[in-house]
Structure 1
């Protein structure tokens, strides 16, 4: 994290400039056995493609509000940084009826249909797979994102003092989010190279901080685990060892 970083997108750019090859997000789903590891460069590429989709195809602009109906998942992390890149406010678990756009997983499609704006659906299948049958009324993210550009430039500069995130009844500007993530990283003792294993959901600041923002601010990485409760104590211990975990949030 540099002193000039004032948005989550700034944090990602700093990470990319420092060490693009290092791991940033390692994702496990212990209900399916899925494991995905994304380097800073690979994660940033997904963010750029998603931001281009958001700004271009979905016509999103700074100040728009996006209801994010996704679990703790590597693709959720991508959407959080893509929204920051465009200047769109992410409302975690927000009301689709009051949002300009909605991004939904397969289990929340019925609720997401209340959105009168653009609707995007994620199958959350291994390797970012698409829906076998696209949900009616939704854009299938896995179909649309691969063809997007690998570089992103916002049409309008992102104001760090404007709203970036709403979670658990709390609203944060981009600058407030970055400051809070940096403070959390210091409190946890995270440093460059730290590996934080998180089994927390993305429905609270603590979950978002441990599962993305604090490791990013510290120059570390996250081992993001969905359905961690299905793992035995022995298997968890082995994962901590094999992934070189330095801290845990569970």
Structure 2
């Protein structure tokens, strides 16, 4: 029964708009000498340029879940690109391997920023992307990554972190973008002290930021294959993201 429910939820993510004509493609590109393999999705029924959104993967890499999220963003009228932070054919086989690979990037924030900015360049240079309207979302490890993208000084309209790590940085004065944090109140990965430090970082840097905290939600509350999946919070947080992008893309 649970497997059937998961499949139904993933299908609802992938096909949230029946009128959309979603096209997708695998895009191979490089960051330095490393070959990367990302996933692009857009609605072919829409004519002309439209806002572009990076959809940054969790620690499992560019898999079925993040591709479904990219399709969901495409159905809303965005060019959605899921960048590859690990490298072509580097896809963790289990959580232990995922923790190791993501941990290497977490401990090398410069490389992480180079990787996510390389993906942003692919999105920015796509012929359908309105380069004046760029944003990024990320899940778990990807949530932390989009905050590093903001701290790198990327000139984009907004970033959204879904249940991401909130550890702080001394480089927050470089942030030029608005920030939305979508956080589960029962997330054991992000202690209250980390939230307090993050809030202080944002205030001191003068960032336009928001923090939504959802009761009863733990870490990874958006992913149907996670035991912590919370359907109500998944829906609420996604609606918050939609409202955020409506604001930052149409000031």
Shorter chain as denominator, the TM-score bin is under 0.3
